[in-house]
Amino acid sequence: MRFKVAIVEDHKQSAELLASYIHRYSKENKVEIDVVNFRDGDEIVYEYKPIYDIIFLDIEMRLLDGMTAAKHIRELDKDVIIIFVTNMSQYAVKGYEVDALSFLLKPITYFAFSQELKRAIDKIQDRENNYFMFSTKDETIRLHTSEILYVESMKHKLIIHTKQKQYIINGTMRDIESKLSKYN
């Protein structure tokens, strides 16, 4: 399984440290992790798509603070794991408002970081047993299988129906049946 991680950190050295910790963890544990960096909360919130598994989010940033960014992200993605990175422990209680997994206090040690990353990855792997990922012509979607009402085939396209939306993808009914069969 490949994980997609976002680092939202306005201090270059801190962002580089987090990225180096992720790469080290990836090598030590043979886990594939793609990393995307954002320099401020407004960058990740602007046109946010629920494609990330984990977001390491600094709280104090210049344009849009991490707590506000997390609230915007939660409106669009209830499943992404948010881990706050801060040097101020008083924000820990506010983290419950956005269902943050945890807080890492600066300066961050590799041991503390690796423990939280492992916890996040374990949580994702447990959760992924109930998610179906697919790509439309415009985006990649991670959809909880309980949201899928039915799938229909029309003119060499598949239409995945949910309560909120319909997704059109390329494929055959046989392919999607084999992919969804493990989800009952």
Q: Residue 109 gets which letter from DSSP? A: P
- pLDDT score for 114: 95
Residues 6+ apart with CB under 8 A from 159: 151, 152, 153, 166, 167, 168
Whole-angstrom Cα distance, residue 171 to residue 122?
31
Amino acid letter at 103? F
Contact 134, 141 (CB under 8 A): yes
Residue bearing tokens 């709280």: 59
Query: Where in the chain does DSSP place strands (E)?
Result: 2-8, 32-38, 54-58, 81-86, 102-105, 131-135, 140-144, 148-154, 157-162, 166-170
pLDDT tens-digit map of 62-108: 898 888 998 999 999 988 999 999 877 666 556 566 777 888 888 89
Is the model's pLDDT at 113 over the cut of 90? yes
Percent of the chain with pLDDT over 70: 93
- Number of helices (H), then strands (E), belonging to the chain: the values are 5, 10
Highest mean pLDDT: which of 116-120, 123-127, 166-170? 116-120
Tell me the pTM: 0.72
| Residue 127, pLDDT score | 72
Gap between the Cα atoms of 66 and 58, Å rounded: 6
Q: Which residues contact 168 (CB under 8 A, 6 or more apart)?
A: 136, 137, 157, 158, 159, 160
Contact 35, 43 (CB under 8 A): no
Question: Judging by DSSP bridges, how do beta strands 102-105 and 32-38 pair with one another?
Answer: unpaired
Average pLDDT over residues 129-151: 81
Q: Please state, rounded to an integer, the average pLDDT across all residues of the chain.
A: 87
